[in-house]
Structure 1
Amino acid sequence: MSTTTTANQKELWGHPVGLYVLFFTEMWERFSYYGMRAILVIYMIAEASHIDGPGLSWSKLEAYQLYGWYVMLVYVISIPGGILADKVLGQRKTVMLGAVILCLGHGTLAIEAEWAFFTGLSLIILGVGCLKPNISTMVGGLYKKGDIRRDKGFSIFYIGINLGSLLATSVIGLVVAKWGWHAGFGLAGIAMLLGLLVYVWGQKYISHVGNKPTVEEMKNDVSLVKIFSNIFKSPAQLAVLVILLALSLYSGFTFEGVDHWGYGALFIFLSFVVGLLMMIFKSLETQILKDRFLVLLLSFLLVIVFWGAFEQAGGLMSVYTETKTDRMLLGYLIPTPMFQGLNAGFIILLAVWVANIWAKRKLKNKEASSLFKMATGTIIMGLGFVFMILAVREYDANGSSGMQWLVLAYLFHTIGELCSSPVSLSFVTKLAPVKYASLMMGLYFAATGLGGKVAGILGEKSEHFGEYTIFTGIVIFTVAFGLLVIALLKPLKRLTHGAEDNERLLDASIAE
Structure 2
Amino acid sequence: MSTTNTPSTRKEIFGHPVGLFILFFTEMWERFSYYGMRGILVLYMATSATAIDPGLGWTNKDAIWLYGWYTMLVYVASIPGGWIADKFLGQKKTVMLGGVLLCFGHGVLAIPQDWAFFTGLILIILGVGGLKPNISTMVGGLYKEGDIRRDSGFTIFYIGINIGAFLASISVGLVAYYYGWHYGFGLAGIGMLLGQIVYVWGQKYLKGVGEYTGGSQVSEAERAAAKRPLTKIEKDRVIVLLISFLIVVVFWGAFEQAGGLMNLYTDAKVDRTIGLNWLEEIPAAVFQSLNAGYIIIFGTLVGGFWIWMKKKGKEASSLFKMAIGTIIMGLGYVFMMFASQEASAEVFGKAAMVWIFLAYLFHTIGELCTSPVALSFITKLAPLKYASIMMGVYFAATGFGNKLAGSIGESAQLEPYTSEMIVTKQEVMPFMQKDSIEIKNEEKKVVKVYDYPINLDKNFSIKSEVYLEGGQLVFNELNSTKKLNYLFDIENNDRLDELKTSLEENNITSSNPYHANLVFEKDKDAAQVIKNRGDGKNYGVSFVLEEEQSEQEYQTFMWLTIFTVAFGLLLILFLKKLKKLTHGAEDNERKIDNDEKDNEPYEIADSDINDNI
TM-score by length of 2: 0.70
Cα distance in 1 for partners of 2:413, 2:299 equals 35
1:105-149, CA deviations, whole angstroms, 9 ceiling, x for partnerless residues?
000000000000000000000000000000000000011111111
Look up the match of 1:435: 385
2:588 aligns with one of 480, 497, 502: 502
Cα distance in 2 for partners of 1:312, 1:365 equals 36
Look up the match of 2:428: none
1:308-348, CA deviations, whole angstroms, 9 ceiling, x for partnerless residues?
01110000000001111110013421011111100011111
Q: What secondary structure is seen at the aligned counterpart in 1 of 2:27? A: helix
- Kindly indicate whether residue 155 of structure 2 is the aligned counterpart of residue 207 of structure 1: no
Verify the 8 A CA contact 2:98 2:126 in the aligned structure 1. Answer: yes
Look up the match of 1:228: none
1:422 aligns with one of 364, 372, 375: 372
Verify the 8 A CA contact 1:284 1:290 in the aligned structure 2. Answer: no
Mapping for residues 354-369 of structure 1, pairs under 5 Å: 354-369=302-317
- Kindly indicate whether residue 289 of structure 2 is the aligned counterpart of residue 289 of structure 1: no
Give the AA of the match of 1:288. I
Look up the match of 2:345: 397
Over the matched positions of the two proteins, sequence identity in percent amounts to 65
- Kindly indicate whether residue 565 of structure 2 is the aligned counterpart of residue 479 of structure 1: yes
Verify the 8 A CA contact 1:111 1:182 in the aligned structure 2. Answer: yes
Q: What secondary structure is seen at the aligned counterpart in 1 of 2:589? A: helix
Cα distance in 2 for partners of 1:173, 1:220 equals 48
1:152-207, CA deviations, whole angstroms, 9 ceiling, x for partnerless residues?
11000000000000000111111012210000000000000000000000000002
Structure with greater strand share of residues: 2
Verify the 8 A CA contact 2:9 2:17 in the aligned structure 1. Answer: no
1:461 aligns with one of 398, 408, 411: 411
Look up the match of 1:253: none
Give the AA of the match of 1:314. G
Distance 1:391 1:354, change over 3 A: same
Look up the match of 1:329: 274
C-alpha displacement at 1:6, in angstroms? 5.2
Verify the 8 A CA contact 1:379 1:479 in the aligned structure 2. Answer: yes
Q: What secondary structure is seen at the aligned counterpart in 1 of 2:271? A: coil
Q: Which moved more, 1:352-361 or 1:209-218?
A: 209-218
Look up the match of 1:23: 24
Q: Which moved more, 1:26-35 or 1:354-363?
A: 354-363
Q: What secondary structure is seen at the aligned counterpart in 1 of 2:133? A: helix
Cα distance in 2 for partners of 1:449, 1:132 equals 12
Give the AA of the match of 1:386. V
Verify the 8 A CA contact 2:9 2:207 in the aligned structure 1. Answer: no
Q: Which moved more, 1:464-473 or 1:211-220?
A: 211-220
Cα distance in 1 for partners of 2:249, 2:563 equals 12
Q: What secondary structure is seen at the aligned counterpart in 1 of 2:257? A: helix
C-alpha displacement at 1:219, in angstroms? 7.2
Look up the match of 2:173: 173
Distance 1:287 1:219, change over 3 A: closer
Look up the match of 2:196: 196
Q: Which moved more, 1:26-35 or 1:459-468?
A: 459-468
Look up the match of 1:183: 183
Cα distance in 2 for partners of 1:8, 1:119 equals 38
Verify the 8 A CA contact 2:146 2:590 in the aligned structure 1. Answer: no
1:404-442, CA deviations, whole angstroms, 9 ceiling, x for partnerless residues?
110000000010011111111000011111110000000
Structure 2 spans left out of the alignment, 5+ residues:
1-5, 415-550, 594-613
Cα distance in 1 for partners of 2:8, 2:23 equals 20
Look up the match of 2:286: 338
Mapping for residues 67-86 of structure 1, pairs under 5 Å: 67-86=67-86
Distance 1:285 1:352, change over 3 A: closer
Cα distance in 1 for partners of 2:272, 2:168 equals 19
Cα distance in 1 for partners of 2:374, 2:129 equals 18
Cα distance in 2 for partners of 1:324, 1:478 equals 24
Cα distance in 1 for partners of 2:590, 2:351 equals 46
Cα distance in 2 for partners of 1:150, 1:48 equals 48
Give the AA of the match of 1:501. D
1:199-234, CA deviations, whole angstroms, 9 ceiling, x for partnerless residues?
000000002101122266667646xxxxxxxxxxxx
Cα distance in 2 for partners of 1:16, 1:8 equals 7
C-alpha displacement at 1:48, in angstroms? 4.1
Cα distance in 2 for partners of 1:98, 1:352 equals 29
Cα distance in 2 for partners of 1:353, 1:152 equals 11
Verify the 8 A CA contact 2:213 2:226 in the aligned structure 1. Answer: no
Mapping for residues 102-501 of structure 1, pairs under 5 Å: 102-214=102-214, 221=226, 285-331=230-276, 332-398=280-346, 399-464=349-414, 466-501=552-587
Give the AA of the match of 2:232. Q
C-alpha displacement at 1:388, in angstroms? 0.5
Verify the 8 A CA contact 1:87 1:218 in the aligned structure 2. Answer: no
Q: Which moved more, 1:7-16 or 1:328-337?
A: 7-16
Cα distance in 1 for partners of 2:88, 2:166 equals 35
Cα distance in 1 for partners of 2:62, 2:170 equals 27
C-alpha displacement at 1:504, in angstroms? 5.4
Q: What secondary structure is seen at the aligned counterpart in 1 of 2:12? A: strand
Look up the match of 1:36: 37
Q: Which moved more, 1:312-321 or 1:464-473?
A: 464-473
Give the AA of the match of 2:96. M
Look up the match of 2:466: none
Q: What secondary structure is seen at the aligned counterpart in 1 of 2:413? A: helix
Mapping for residues 96-107 of structure 1, pairs under 5 Å: 96-107=96-107
Verify the 8 A CA contact 2:71 2:402 in the aligned structure 1. Answer: yes
Structure 1 spans left out of the alignment, 5+ residues:
223-282, 508-512
Give the AA of the match of 1:31. F
Cα distance in 2 for partners of 1:218, 1:80 equals 22
Cα distance in 2 for partners of 1:348, 1:505 equals 24
Cα distance in 2 for partners of 1:122, 1:350 equals 34
Verify the 8 A CA contact 1:362 1:504 in the aligned structure 2. Answer: no
Distance 1:383 1:28, change over 3 A: same
Cα distance in 1 for partners of 2:356, 2:9 equals 47
Give the AA of the match of 2:140. G
TM-score by length of 1: 0.84
Give the AA of the match of 1:104. F
* Aligned CA-pair RMSD: 1.7
Q: Which moved more, 1:315-324 or 1:356-365?
A: 356-365
Q: What secondary structure is seen at the aligned counterpart in 1 of 2:112? A: coil
C-alpha displacement at 1:9, in angstroms? 2.3
Verify the 8 A CA contact 1:139 1:154 in the aligned structure 2. Answer: yes
1:241-265, CA deviations, whole angstroms, 9 ceiling, x for partnerless residues?
xxxxxxxxxxxxxxxxxxxxxxxxx
Give the AA of the match of 2:306. W
Verify the 8 A CA contact 1:108 1:119 in the aligned structure 2. Answer: yes
1:470-490, CA deviations, whole angstroms, 9 ceiling, x for partnerless residues?
111110110000000011111
Structure with greater helix share of residues: 1
Q: Which moved more, 1:448-457 or 1:359-368?
A: 359-368
Give the AA of the match of 2:333. F
Give the AA of the match of 2:320. F
Cα distance in 1 for partners of 2:28, 2:8 equals 28
Distance 1:211 1:347, change over 3 A: same
Give the AA of the match of 1:105. G
C-alpha displacement at 1:374, in angstroms? 0.5
